[in-house]
Amino acid sequence: MANPWRSGLLVAVRFLGLAGPAPAAEDRPRQGGELLFIMPAADPPSSDAHREDTFAVIQPAAPHYLPAQAVLPGMRERGWGRVITTSSIGSLGNIGQANYAASKAGVIGLTKTLALEYAKYGVTVNCIAPGATMTSMLAGVPDKIKEQIIAKIPVGRIADPSEIAAVHCFLASDEAAFITGQVLFVDGGMTVGI
């Protein structure tokens, strides 16, 4: 039987640094940890690549590079693939968050290295670094703290998760074929000038 990781995977999207419990997929127990979203290779990506039913979700417990090791050989063999990692504006550093900043900066370093190694095989590897996003983690933050966060965002609001997801979908599309090794800060302008 062929290894499904090497035969049918076109797009891998890595979400890192979830705080607390997070749903991994339908009919699965809530678990904390990291998510890897996978798009099967039944059809080439198209403008409807964002449809929820095109994604299967797994939850690896291994370090960041193991999912990439699992999916990149098949992408290389087919001569096409998309790997999208997720870091954070926290990669730029913040008082009291050395561990978080280091882990998010490591994701960026891994992204850039994989982009260089796999570009010649038609595989793009990019990273999205979201700013404040209205996730369950941020929803639990007191309003006064949220107001302080919003005051630092030039667009004057917190991102909706769908705005971050839309950037992932763009990077998975054919329209993004010439973009690789990049970090897109999706943060409402928080990192402008840094």
Residue keyed to tokens 């970090």? 183
pTM of the model: 0.72
Distance between CA 138 and CA 35 in Å, rounded?
Answer: 18
pLDDT of 146 above 70: yes
Distance between CA 55 and CA 73 in Å, rounded?
Answer: 20
Distance between CA 83 and CA 124 in Å, rounded?
Answer: 6
Q: For residue 119, what pLDDT is reported?
A: 97
Nearest to 107 by CA among 29, 2, 15: 15
Distance between CA 116 and CA 94 in Å, rounded?
Answer: 29
Could you report the per-residue pLDDT of 85-97, keeping only the tens digit for each? 889 999 999 888 8
Distance between CA 83 and CA 149 in Å, rounded?
Answer: 30
Could you report the per-residue pLDDT of 85-139, keeping only the tens digit for each? 889 999 999 888 888 888 889 889 989 999 999 999 999 999 999 999 999 889 9
* Residue 54 binned pLDDT confidence (cut-offs 50, 70, 90): very low
Tell me which residues are annotated as active site.
100
* Residue 15 binned pLDDT confidence (cut-offs 50, 70, 90): low
Q: Which residues pair with 22 in a beta bridge?
A: 31
